[in-house]
Homo-oligomer: A and B are copies of this chain.
Amino acid sequence: MIMNNIYRLFLLNLQPMFLEEPNVEFFEGKDTEKAEKIISSDKTKLLFDFALSASALRDIDSVLEKTAYFFCKILNCDRSSIFIWDKKKKKLWSKVALGLDETIELEPDKGIVGFVFSQKQPIIINDPYSDHRFNPEIDRKTGYKTKNIIAVPLITYLGNIVGVIEGINKLEGEFDGEDLKFAQILSTYAANSIENALLYSEIKKTQEEIVVRLSIAAEFRDKTTYNHLVRMSIYSYLIAREMGFDEDWCEKLRLAAPMHDIGKLGVPDRILLKPSKLTDEEFKEMQKHTIYGYDILKDSDIDILKMGANIALCHHERYDGKGYPKGLKGEEIPIEARIVALADVVDALLSRRPYKEPFGIDEVVDFVKKESGKHFDPKVVSAFLRIIPQIKKVLEKYGVD
């Protein structure tokens, strides 16, 4: 009977957060309302809500933000900081910690956070200024007064330690055993989500760098630069986003774009490296890099490679049908190739080449406008024109070659 009540409260408690009303009748008691009120703000509910929402996030900043927020709510404390273990640097880092704006780094064996990390032990300190591990330096810098601290190692369900979470200044009273229990439960969920997010971000970074490095390698003989490939792929991403494609598609385009010229490795040295103007026949041979690229990337199940194949084949097609290799026109050209065609040309114009100085952004805008409907798809052009400020930022960040 007591269990039955607990279940009821537990279920009532969860239901409004997670679920649409199911199509089956369920609770029908007079005490429903009362029970809901009692329980509506409780910690269990917060914990459940945290576990659910955190496991749905993949971006590390969002996971950290959500974790810190729920940690403060559940433990009823003023501040929460999360320190993440960087295996390579052998340091703990934190982005938004202790009221400081900068990212800070800690040694894994110093201070309270270091103690918790190296001992894999939680700790409650209700009188920090008399604890030798406490560093009052940051209080001095920020003018904040640390009154009490709870710190718990972030250990995943499978036993990997990924960092430490710290709560500062309980709003009423001092941290106690119940706080500790809740902190530890939350910390396991948080650690799982943090580990997932870190892994996800590492894989994404790896993927990006591999694509760009190998694409540039493929253009080894053609002296394309790393930054050109990064910039043109970011422009492609930004234009696609401005055109309303979903984030997943834009992200795939960003990874596919750098591969547009890999077919050049099929072009013989005598043509690719010829210092003088190509004959008509040589130029025809050169144009085949679109087909070679397509052959390298085609027939894959992987979206990025499918997209890459289309881009390799069609990034020299023109909207007016005067491009190569097939002379496709307008919407016959896959949209990913129409976007990359513009992004690639724009970045080439903005760059220094052996035969030309870099264009200014205004000259590029004029050129692109003039080519709207000729070389370029007018819809792509108009999206590009709307994001000039973002293009300028990319140029600032990666420089002009």
Interface residues of A, Cβ cutoff 8 Å to B? 2-3, 6-7, 9-11, 14-15, 18-19, 22-27, 38-39, 42-44, 51-53, 55-56, 58, 88, 121-124, 156-158, 177-178, 180-182, 184-185, 188-189, 192-193, 195-196, 199-200, 203-207, 209-211, 213-218, 220-221, 259, 262, 265-266, 268-270, 292, 296-297, 300-305
Contact = CB atoms under 8 A, between A and B. Distances in A.
A209 B177 CA distance: 51
Contacts of A206: 207, 302-305
Contact of A220 (B3, B158, B259, B265): B265
Given A22-B180, A51-B52, 17 more contacts: A7-B44, A15-B181, A19-B188, A26-B178, A51-B55, A56-B157, A56-B158, A56-B192, A203-B203, A205-B301, A209-B305, A210-B211, A210-B302, A210-B304, A213-B300, A214-B259, A268-B269
Contacts of A10: 6, 44
Contact of A157 (B52, B189, B205): B52
Given A207-B210, A269-B268, A52 B189 contact: yes
A15 B217 CA distance: 54
6 tightest A-B CB contacts, nearest first: A26-B177, A214-B214, A56-B157, A55-B192, A217-B296, A269-B269
Main secondary structure of the interface of A (DSSP, over half): helix
A143 to B, nearest CB: 30
Contacts of A215: 214
A15 to B, nearest CB: 6
Contacts of A209: 300, 302, 305
Contact of A214 (B39, B177, B199, B218): B218
B9 A6 contact: yes
B181 A26 contact: yes
A213 B121 contact: no
Contacts of A207: 203, 206-207, 210
A45 to B, nearest CB: 11
Greatest chain B CB density within 10 A among A9, A18, A39, A199 is at: A18
B216 A214 contact: no
Given A185-B18, A206-B207, A214-B262, A178 B300 contact: no
A26 B175 CA distance: 12
